Structure 1
Amino acid sequence: MGSDPYLVFKIIAPIVTVFVFTIFCVGCCKIFQRVCKEQDEHVQTQARAVDPPSVYVIPISLSEDDLHRPPRYSTVQFYESPPAYHELNLKPEACPVEAPPAYSESISPSPSHS
């Protein structure tokens, strides 16, 4: 090797230090992720307990015969196709009532920084 008896220690000590530091950081990250996950689950559980999911029911009125019959697809209503794009008119609220002001050029002095 060499004349320095601590040469092996000088080489191995930084490697071991980096290895131990890496293991420590990975452990801390896993603990942090577990705590965050538990907090999220706790918040979700509280949210479900406080506000149960609502179900929106669309009321329909059918006769007793229609309730137990398969749907009739022959009664589908057909709608006319929408007008072509070039045939559409602008909505009145989209057009300004008065013309915009005339363009005028003005030169203002630049602010001085002191």
Structure 2
Amino acid sequence: MNESFGVFQIFVPIVACGIVAICCASFCKIFHRARKERLQRQAAENRVRDVSASVYVIPISVSDDDLSRPPRYSTAQFYDPPPAYNQVKLEAYPLEPPPPYTEAPHS
């Protein structure tokens, strides 16, 4: 009886640790796979969002001379600074909603 009790004292903790290690490894794999799938879904959503959001570039004509010379600061317009916050008068917020959008007829 003493020998079987010694065998149980040695092998039961080893088997229990093995079962716990297998469970931890499987949980880690499950969570890693779920995180990987979530990141792939987010990347796919970002690619779709990037494709659908286009940028409109306003074409301007610039000569080669304008590209090579420094900017002309003498032609810049100067504006007065804005008034201080304590000098700005608050306007009343309109209580009625804005008019509904209507398509203008094309001429």
- Normalised by the length of structure 1, the TM-score is 0.49
Any gaps of 5 or more consecutive residues in structure 2? 96-107
Where has structure 1 moved over 6 Å in runs of 4 or more?
Answer: none
Distance 1:8 1:47 in 2: 58
Any gaps of 5 or more consecutive residues in structure 1? 97-114
Output the aligned Cα RMSD: 4.0
Residue in 2 that maps onto 1:64? 63
Residue in 2 that maps onto 1:93? 93
Structure 1 or 2: more helix by fraction? 2
Residue in 2 that maps onto 1:108? none
Distance 1:20 1:32 in 2: 18
Distance 1:23 1:77 in 2: 73
Distance 1:39 1:67 in 2: 49
Aligned residues: 93
Q: Secondary structure at the match of 1:93?
A: coil
- Normalised by the length of structure 2, the TM-score is 0.51
Residue in 2 that maps onto 1:84? 84
Instruction: Report which of the two structures shows the higher radius of gyration computed on alpha carbons.
Output: 1
Over 3 Å counting, the alpha-carbon distance change for 1:45 and 1:86 in structure 2 is closer
Q: Secondary structure at the match of 1:81?
A: coil
**Aligned-residue identity in percent:** 31
Distance 1:38 1:13 in 2: 38
